Amino acid sequence: MTQALALPTRKSEDYRYADLAALEPLWPIAPERIVLGAGEEGALAILHTGNSPVARDLEIVLGDGAKYALHLLDAGESYGRFAVRVTLGAGAEFTFGAAQLAGAGQTLEIVTEVTHAAPDAVSRQVVRSVASARSTVNYLGKVLVAKGADGTDGEQSVRAMLLDRTATANARPELEIYADDVKCAHGCAVGELDAQALFYMAQRGLPPQEAKKLMLQAFVAEAFVGAAEEEQLLEAALGALGRLV
């Protein structure tokens, strides 16, 4: 029991980039289990703001034909870690859209593992991260396609924007496939705001800070498309971006 509750080390892949000192006061993390039966539908929006650190571990199990959408905005001003493990039954659908906005030397991280355990399930993950001022944003995500899970359709889209040279983004999208006739893809990019676009907006009288905020708002909005709480998430994100630019 003692070993099971021990704080992980960096030897554990899921904690390779974690801020273990910030995680220690929150450890151990009680798992939160969400189970949907065959054909059921559900959704959850998580909005983390404020100064309190947070660490959550979500385990989602979807029965055959079930649908679930999870949207997350981590815009707090301290440590944040969200781990999401999902198991999909036949024909199930899982949508995950997340944005993390980090500043002031903080660490924010998302860890996902989506298991396609049966045929014809669909998963979509869109993660957008913004980092400034010596902060770190992490995304470690695996899509696992089990043997016999033919017809799987899994996709990851991971992008990070660095606002300062002192900011860091770590990303590891991963596919592990043991079935035939599947469609799986992942894309990952880390970059900076487009200097030409900023110049173009400045030439038309938009102040640099407002131009940056507008570009970042459009960048982050990609994570929340289709969310029932899309307007609320975007409003909170825009407020948080004000402290980063």
Does residue 72 surpass a pLDDT of 60? yes
Q: Using CA atoms, how far apart are residues 190 and 178, in angstroms rounded to an integer?
A: 29
pLDDT-above-70 percentage for the chain: 98
Q: Using CA atoms, how far apart are residues 162 and 136, in angstroms rounded to an integer?
A: 9
Does residue 209 surpass a pLDDT of 50? yes
Q: Express each pLDDT in 132-153 by its tens digit.
A: 999 999 999 999 999 999 999 9
pTM of the model: 0.95
- Calculate Rg over the CA atoms of the chain: 18
Does residue 204 surpass a pLDDT of 90? no
Q: What is the DSSP string of 196-237?
A: HHHHHHHHTT--HHHHHHHHHHHHHHTTSTT-TTHHHHHHHH
160: Cβ contacts below 8 Å, ≥ 6 apart: 128, 129, 130, 131, 137, 139, 169, 171, 189, 190, 191
- The reported pLDDT for the residue numbered 4 is 56
Contact between 224 and 234 (Cβ < 8 Å): yes
Nearest to 58 by CA among 113, 134, 139: 113
CB atoms within 10 A of CB 28: 11
67: DSSP letter: E
Does residue 2 surpass a pLDDT of 80? no
Q: Express each pLDDT in 221-241 by its tens digit.
A: 999 999 999 999 999 999 999
Determine whether 2 is exposed, middle or buried from the number of CB atoms within 10 Å of its CB (0-12, 13-18, 19+): exposed
Least confident of 42-46, 124-128, 164-168, 202-206: 202-206
Q: Averaged over 96-124, what is the pLDDT?
A: 97
The domains of the chain are located at: 13-192
